[in-house]
């Protein structure tokens, strides 16, 4: 819905400079914004302003340059631009229509629940108000799903899983499959039964094709507000804290404990039975093999202090030149000895 800049500035609690009656019909990037759209500006893209056709900008409150179009100054342009996108984007809302013919009679449904075609809802499932279960998803026995959740198409949620409120699960995710546990009996690998479950707390988002295994006996847990990217593997009995960020193709081995506000960059991995403290950062492609105290940052294979990793990498890069200098010194020393004879 179109808004003028006065309305947008009020919503963002920003400072408007310029004509507040300019009507904005959408948002755009600094590279592709068109007339009628608003874009956000950072110190990194100031050099692109002359080529931008946006009708207004969101800028940091510290910006002092003049603009040829109206601007709204805010404390955090990235965060306020997210809010702006939410103002102009269409949110998925439940239609309250039950289109599937595979809903067990024992299912408990809240108000205005939407269940799309070919979704399968098994016995004793409970689904909260305004939740959407999209087409071809499977919800197993005794699963609880909270209010305002969005389950995208082709999601599998297996038996006894508990999902809180405002959870988003993207297509292809599998929640509650058996963990990878076997014991050698001298002749073959014996499968360890997994009778635990998965608990996903409020405001979690789980990316496409991510898998979260159920606990062996207890629960695998994902803490409130944690956001998980695509293609992530979470092993059995893992406990992930609140407000963590886990980027794509990462993996966490069984029974590991991840603290609150931990960041795991793309392709990182944690072996089993590891504890990572609060507010740690695991940089991309890092293998964590030892416990990490809170506020640590590690990198490399295997993980070590990031500062140590940088020092060692720098030393290694200088090694060829160092060897060349050393050989030169050895040649000079050898010639000096021959001359002394």
> Residue 340: is its pLDDT beyond 70?
no
**Stretch 47-68: mean pLDDT, rounded?**
86
Q: Are residues 269 and 300 in the same domain?
A: yes
Into how many domains does the chain fold? 2
Q: Are residues 175 and 268 in the same domain?
A: yes
* Residue 325 placed within a domain: no
Whether residue 129 contacts residue 148, with contact meaning beta carbons closer than 8 Å, is answered with: yes
Helices 77-88/5-12 angle, 10° precision: 120
Give residue 257's pLDDT: 98
Q: Are residues 171 and 223 in the same domain?
A: yes
| CATH number for position 50 | 3.40.1390.10
Give residue 45's pLDDT: 77
Q: Are residues 80 and 25 in the same domain?
A: yes
Per-residue tokens: 81: 């631009």
* Residue 93 placed within a domain: no
Q: Are residues 180 and 289 in the same domain?
A: yes
User: The dihedral of CA 303, 309, 313, 315: what is its sign?
Assistant: negative
Q: Are residues 68 and 179 in the same domain?
A: no
Q: Are residues 190 and 268 in the same domain?
A: yes
Q: Are residues 251 and 295 in the same domain?
A: yes
Q: Are residues 51 and 131 in the same domain?
A: no
Whether residue 97 contacts residue 114, with contact meaning beta carbons closer than 8 Å, is answered with: yes
Q: For the segment 132-176, what is each residue's pLDDT rounded down to a tens digit?
A: 999 999 999 999 999 999 999 999 999 999 999 999 999 999 999
Q: Would you call the peptide bond into 302 cis, given omega within 30 degrees of 0 as the criterion?
A: yes
Q: Are residues 219 and 291 in the same domain?
A: yes
* Residue 212 placed within a domain: yes
Per-residue tokens: 95: 């239609």
From CA 249, how far away is CA 185, in angstroms rounded? 33
* Residue 54 placed within a domain: yes
- Domain carrying residue 43: 3-88
Q: Which of 88, 110, 143 is the last residue of a domain?
A: 88
SS3 annotation, 200-252? ECCCCEECCCCEEECCCCCEEEECCCCEECCCCEECCCCEECCCCEECCCCEE
CA angle 82, 87, 90 (to 5 degrees): 105
Give residue 62's pLDDT: 87
Q: For the segment 182-211, what is each residue's pLDDT rounded down to a tens digit?
A: 999 999 999 999 999 999 999 999 999 999
Give residue 341's pLDDT: 60
> Residue 89: is its pLDDT beyond 90?
no
* Residue 240 placed within a domain: yes
Taking alpha carbons only, the member of 279, 219, 275 closest to residue 252 is 275
Which residues lie closer than 8 Å to 165 by C-beta, 6 or more apart? 128, 146, 147, 148, 149, 202, 203
Whether residue 49 contacts residue 33, with contact meaning beta carbons closer than 8 Å, is answered with: no
Q: Are residues 124 and 12 in the same domain?
A: no
Q: For the segment 9-57, what is each residue's pLDDT rounded down to a tens digit?
A: 999 999 999 999 999 999 998 889 999 999 988 877 777 777 889 999 9
Beta strand 219-222 with 239-240 is parallel
Q: For the segment 232-280, what is each residue's pLDDT rounded down to a tens digit?
A: 999 999 999 999 999 999 999 999 999 999 999 999 999 999 999 999 9
SS3 annotation, 24-75? ECEECCCCCCCCCEEEECCHHHHHHHHHCCCCEEEEECCCCCCCCCCEEEEC
* Residue 313 placed within a domain: no
Whether residue 200 contacts residue 145, with contact meaning beta carbons closer than 8 Å, is answered with: no
Q: Are residues 39 and 107 in the same domain?
A: no
Residues carrying an active site annotation: 236
From CA 153, how far away is CA 136, in angstroms rounded? 6
Per-residue tokens: 330: 């050895």
Phi-psi region of 87 (alpha: psi -120 to 50; beta: other; left: phi over 0): alpha
From CA 148, how far away is CA 135, in angstroms rounded? 17
pTM: 0.86
């Amino acid at each position: 819905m179109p808004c003028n800049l006065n309305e947008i500035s009020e919503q963002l609690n920003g400072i408007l400079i310029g004509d507040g009656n300019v009507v904005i019909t959408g948002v755009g990037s600094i590279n592709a914004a068109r007339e009628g759209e608003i874009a956000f500006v950072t110190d990194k893209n100031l050099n692109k302003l002359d080529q931008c056709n946006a009708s207004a900008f969101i800028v940091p409150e510290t910006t002092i340059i003049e603009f040829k179009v109206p601007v709204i100054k805010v404390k955090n342009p990235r965060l306020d631009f997210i809010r702006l996108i939410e103002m102009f984007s269409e949110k998925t809302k439940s239609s309250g229509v039950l289109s599937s013919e595979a809903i067990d009679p024992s299912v408990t449904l809240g108000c205005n629940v939407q269940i799309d075609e070919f979704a399968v809802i098994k016995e004793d499932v409970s689904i909260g108000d305004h939740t959407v279960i999209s087409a071809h998803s499977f919800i197993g026995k005794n699963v609880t799903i909270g209010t305002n959740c969005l389950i995208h198409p082709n999601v599998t949620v297996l038996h006894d899983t508990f999902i809180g409120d405002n959870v988003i699960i993207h297509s292809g995710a599998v929640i509650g499959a058996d963990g990878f546990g076997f014991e050698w009996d001298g002749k073959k690998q014996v499968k360890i039964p997994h009778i635990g479950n998965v608990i996903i707390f409020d405001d979690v988002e789980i990316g496409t094709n991510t898998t979260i295994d159920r606990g062996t006996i207890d629960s695998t847990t994902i803490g409130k507000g944690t956001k998980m990217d695509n293609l992530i593997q979470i092993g059995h009995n893992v406990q992930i804290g609140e407000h963590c960020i886990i980027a794509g193709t990462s993996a966490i081995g069984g029974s590991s404990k991840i603290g609150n506000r931990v960041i795991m960059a793309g392709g990182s991995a944690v072996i089993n039975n590891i504890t990572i403290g609060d507010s740690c950062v695991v940089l991309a492609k890092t293998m964590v093999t030892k416990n990490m105290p809170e506020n640590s940052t590690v990198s490399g294979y295997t993980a070590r202090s990031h500062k140590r990793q940088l020092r060692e990498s720098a030393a290694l890069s200088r090694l060829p030149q160092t060897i060349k200098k050393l050989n030169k010194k050895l040649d000079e020393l050898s010639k000096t000895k021959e001359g002394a004879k």
